[in-house]
Structure 1
Amino acid sequence: MLSFAYPWIVLLVPLPLAVWFWLPPHVELRIGLRVPFFDRLARLSGQDPVSGGVVTRRDAGRWLVLLLVWLLVLAALARPQWIDPPLHREVPTRDLLVLVDLSGSMDTKDFVDASGKTVDRLTAVKQVLDDFLSRRKGDRVGVVVFGDAPFALVPFTTDLDLCRLMLRDTVVGMAGPRTAFGDAIGLGIGLFAKSTVKAKTIIALTDGNDTMSKVPPAEAARVAKDKGIVIHTVAVGDPRAAGEDKLDEAALKQVADTTGGGFFRALDRAQLAEIYNRLDAIETRRVDTVSFRPRRDIYWMPLAVGLVLTLLVQALRLAGRHRRRTPAPTELAGAGR
Structure 2
Amino acid sequence: MIQFDFPWLWLLLPLPLLAYHGLPAYRAPHRKLRVPFTVAFKDRIEQKASPMAAGISRAALALRWLIWALLLTAAARPAYLGPPITHIEPRRDLVLAIDLSQSMSEPDATTSDGADTPRLVAVKRAASQFINWRTDDRIGLVGFGDRAFALAPPSREHDTLQQILAMTETGMAGANTALGDAIGVTLKLLEQSDRPDKLLILLTDGNDNRSRLDPIQAARIANNRGLTIHTIGFGRTDTGTDDALDAPTLARIAGMTGGQSFLATDRTALERVYRTIDAMTPHNAEELRARPRRELFWIPVLIASGLLLLHLLADLRSSQAQPQAGWRETERREP
**Interval containing the TM-score (normalised by the shorter chain):** 0.7 to 0.9
The C-alpha deviation readout for 1:303-330, integer Å capped at 9, x for no partner, is 3443565678799999xxxxxxxxxxxx
Deviation at 1:255, TM superposition (A): 1.2
**TM-score normalized by structure 2?**
0.76
Q: Does 1:4 align with 2:4?
A: yes
- Give the Cα–Cα distance (whole angstroms) in 2 for the partners of residues 256 and 182 of structure 1: 13
RMSD over aligned CA atoms reads 3.9
More deviation in 278-287 or 100-109? 278-287
- Residue 136 of structure 2: aligned partner: 138
Counterpart among 140, 155, 158 of residue 160 in structure 1: 158
- Give the Cα–Cα distance (whole angstroms) in 2 for the partners of residues 95 and 191 of structure 1: 10
- Residue 182 of structure 1: aligned partner: 180
| Shift in CA distance, 266/101, structure 1 to aligned 2, threshold 3 Å | same
Gaps of 5+ in 1: 48-55, 319-337
Counterpart among 206, 210, 231 of residue 229 in structure 2: 231
Q: Does 1:97 align with 2:100?
A: no
- Residue 76 of structure 2: aligned partner: 78
Contact 1:113–1:124 (CA<8 Å) still a contact in 2? no
**TM-score normalized by structure 1?**
0.75
- Give the Cα–Cα distance (whole angstroms) in 2 for the partners of residues 173 and 253 of structure 1: 25
- Residue 39 of structure 1: aligned partner: 42
Contact 1:92–1:139 (CA<8 Å) still a contact in 2? yes
- Give the Cα–Cα distance (whole angstroms) in 1 for the partners of residues 221 and 5 of structure 2: 50
Deviation at 1:73, TM superposition (A): 1.5
- Give the Cα–Cα distance (whole angstroms) in 1 for the partners of residues 270 and 25 of structure 2: 87
- Give the Cα–Cα distance (whole angstroms) in 1 for the partners of residues 113 and 313 of structure 2: 82
- Give the Cα–Cα distance (whole angstroms) in 2 for the partners of residues 182 and 253 of structure 1: 14
The C-alpha deviation readout for 1:87-124, integer Å capped at 9, x for no partner, is 54433232211111112222222235699864322222
- Give the Cα–Cα distance (whole angstroms) in 1 for the partners of residues 140 and 253 of structure 2: 20
- Give the Cα–Cα distance (whole angstroms) in 2 for the partners of residues 282 and 194 of structure 1: 26
| Shift in CA distance, 211/306, structure 1 to aligned 2, threshold 3 Å | same
Q: Does 1:278 align with 2:276?
A: yes
- Residue 51 of structure 1: aligned partner: none
- Give the Cα–Cα distance (whole angstroms) in 1 for the partners of residues 20 and 36 of structure 2: 33
- Residue 298 of structure 1: aligned partner: 296
Deviation at 1:63, TM superposition (A): 1.8
Structure-to-structure mapping, 1:226-265, within 5 angstroms: 226-241=224-239, 245-265=243-263
- Give the Cα–Cα distance (whole angstroms) in 2 for the partners of residues 124 and 64 of structure 1: 82
Deviation at 1:256, TM superposition (A): 1.7
Counterpart among 183, 202, 205 of residue 204 in structure 1: 202
3-state DSSP of counterpart to 2:198:
strand
Q: How many residues align?
A: 310
| Shift in CA distance, 60/105, structure 1 to aligned 2, threshold 3 Å | same
Contact 1:144–1:151 (CA<8 Å) still a contact in 2? yes
- Residue 53 of structure 1: aligned partner: none
Gaps of 5+ in 2: 317-335
- Give the Cα–Cα distance (whole angstroms) in 2 for the partners of residues 19 and 190 of structure 1: 74
Partner letter of residue 233 of structure 1? T
More deviation in 303-312 or 87-96? 303-312
- Residue 329 of structure 2: aligned partner: none
| Shift in CA distance, 41/212, structure 1 to aligned 2, threshold 3 Å | same
- Give the Cα–Cα distance (whole angstroms) in 1 for the partners of residues 8 and 36 of structure 2: 51
- Residue 192 of structure 1: aligned partner: 190
Counterpart among 148, 152, 155 of residue 150 in structure 1: 148
Deviation at 1:156, TM superposition (A): 1.7
3-state DSSP of counterpart to 1:109:
coil
- Give the Cα–Cα distance (whole angstroms) in 2 for the partners of residues 143 and 261 of structure 1: 19
